[in-house]
Amino acid sequence: MSTFLEDKRRLIFEHIPSFFRKAALLLGFVVIGLIPAVSAQAQETSAKAELKSSLNDLSTQYQSEVQRLEKRLQDSKKLYDDGLISRVQFEGDEKALADARAKVEQIAKDIAAANQPALVIAPDAIVSELGASNIAWTTGNAKVDGLIRTYGAQYSVDPYLIYCLMSQESSFVASATSYKGAQGLMQLMPGTAARYGVTNPYDVAQNIKGGTRYLKDLLKMFNGRVDLALAGYNAGEGAVMKYGNKIPPYDETRNYVKLILKRYTKKATS
């Protein structure tokens, strides 16, 4: 009996190390599985912090511009009262100041929106008017990925569509400049950049925001027609309307739309 009990105790002790080894191995798998999630969360947090920093810098620039224009308007009023400048010139300065103040108000709204926790959105939680894509994608830059998702959610544009357009426009090179003068990741022309308040088209946050807003407006203009929105992005909305809301007969534009749609519509079968 004594021998039986000793054998039983020995078997129990022999299996204890094995049990702990298995437990440690299981714990290791759990920790390893958590690493990608923690890393993704850290990247998202970093992208949001850089977005806030960019918006704050832009707000400072806009406020400085307002102060400059306020002083200029004061000077213009004196000159106008003395009959040294025309009413048209004076009203032009008034309009410039009003536009600058509108930019300050808009950037304040953008900063408030960026401070909302809801803007930190997981890729599979994004819902857009086009229907969010579940296909995996990355530009290779966590900051750019985060900004695409953030502005895609903010302006209800499928982030994957923004990604496909950006790939075609610049191959994700923030310093890209075309021979026609288009600039940055989303290749904004100077006129388009000015229209959407982009003062530095090589700033990735400003560029992606401006390009996404433009794409959103094109989608609204052409009733959600992705092909026409892309054609408008490439050739200008005027060209699309000129040809009866059809893709203009330009080889470059037709190829541009074809290539992006070929990539974008793969999500439907993925």
DSSP per-residue string spanning the chain: -HHHHHHHHHHHHHHHHHHHHHHHHHHHHHHHHHHHHHHHHHHHHHHHHHHHHHHHHHHHHHHHHHHHHHHHHHHHHHHHHTTSS-HHHHHHHHHHHHHHHHHHHHHHHHHHHHTSGGGS--GGG---TT----S----S-HHHHHHHHHHHHHTT--HHHHHHHHHHHHTT-TT-B-TT--BTTTTB-HHHHHHTT-S-TTSHHHHHHHHHHHHHHHHHHTTT-HHHHHHHHHH-HHHHHHTTSS--S-HHHHHHHHHHHHHHGGGGT-
Contact by Cβ (8 Å): 103, 62:
yes
Q: How far apart are CA 35 and CA 42, in angstroms?
A: 10
Catalogue the active-site residues.
Answer: 169
Q: How far apart are CA 214 and CA 212, in angstroms?
A: 5
Angle at the Cα of 62 from the Cα atoms of 58 and 63, rounded to 5 degrees:
115
Query: Which residue, among 195, 179, 217, 185, has the nearest Cα to 103 in the 3D structure?
Result: 195
Amino acid identity at 22: K
